[in-house]
Amino acid sequence: MFLSTFEKQLDAKRRIVVPQEFRALVSGPFDGVFCFPSIEADCVEGGGKALFDRYTGVIEELEFGDPLRSALETSVLGGMAKLSFDTAGRITLPEALCETFGLTDWVVVVGLGDRFQIWNREAFQTHRAAQRDLAREGLAQLRAQQRAARLGTSG
C-alpha cells in the first residue's frame, strides 16, 4: 500500500524522486508508474499496474458508447503517462501535468493505499484541511448511526 505523505522538490527538468517505499510497490512489467490527471481532485494521480488494471476494469464494465465510459477513457487513458524510473529513482512529470496543477517547485506526494497523488504544496494544505473536516463530520455521523442502530435493536 502507498502510505504516508512526503514533500519533494521538482528539479528544473520536472523530475521528482519517488519515495523508495512507493518504488518498491510498483515493481513489475516495467520499472515505473502510471500518472494522469486525478478525476476527484486537482492533482496528479498515480500508481502501478494494479491501479491501471482497476481503472481499465471499471471502463470495460461500461457499454461502448456510454458517455461515462467515454469520459473515463478520455480523462484516465487519454491523460495517462507511463513514467519510468531513472537510476536515481526519479520520474519526469509531463509538462502538461505540471502546468495544469501548478507543480513548479515543492510538491507533496500522498499515499492513498492503492494509489498516490502529487499535489502543489499550497493546494494540498488547503485540501488536507478540508478532508480532515469532512472525515471528522462523517465519522461523527457514522458513530451516531451506529449508536442509534444498537439502541434500536436492543430495545
Gap between the terminal Cα atoms of the chain: 42
Q: What is the torsion angle, in degrees rounded to the nearest 10, for the CA atoms of residue 94, residue 98, residue 99 and residue 102?
A: 180
What whole-number distance in Å separates Cα of residue 155 and Cα of residue 143?
18
Count the Cβ atoms, other than its own, within 10 Å of residue 51: 22
Mean model confidence pLDDT for the chain: 92
What whole-number distance in Å separates Cα of residue 23 and Cα of residue 21?
6
Domain encompassing residue 36: 5-121
Residue type, 59: I
Please give the pLDDT value at position 32.
Answer: 87
If one counts the domains in the chain, the total is: 1
**pLDDT (tens digit per residue) in 62-96:** 999 999 999 999 999 999 999 999 999 999 999 99
> Do the domain assignments include residue 37?
yes
Q: Find how far residue 21's CA is from the centre of its chain.
A: 15
> Do the domain assignments include residue 149?
no
> Do the domain assignments include residue 130?
no
CA torsion sign for 84, 89, 94, 100 is positive
**pLDDT (tens digit per residue) in 50-64:** 899 999 999 999 999
Backbone angles phi, psi at 22, to 5 degrees: -75, -40
> Do the domain assignments include residue 16?
yes
> Do the domain assignments include residue 29?
yes
Query: Between 110 and 153, whose confidence is greater?
Result: 110
**Taking the model in full, what pTM does it have?**
0.87
> Do the domain assignments include residue 96?
yes
27: CATH: 3.40.1550.20
> Do the domain assignments include residue 86?
yes
Count the Cβ atoms, other than its own, within 10 Å of residue 78: 11
**pLDDT (tens digit per residue) in 117-135:** 999 999 999 999 999 999 9
> Do the domain assignments include residue 140?
no
92 touches 14 (CB < 8 A):
yes
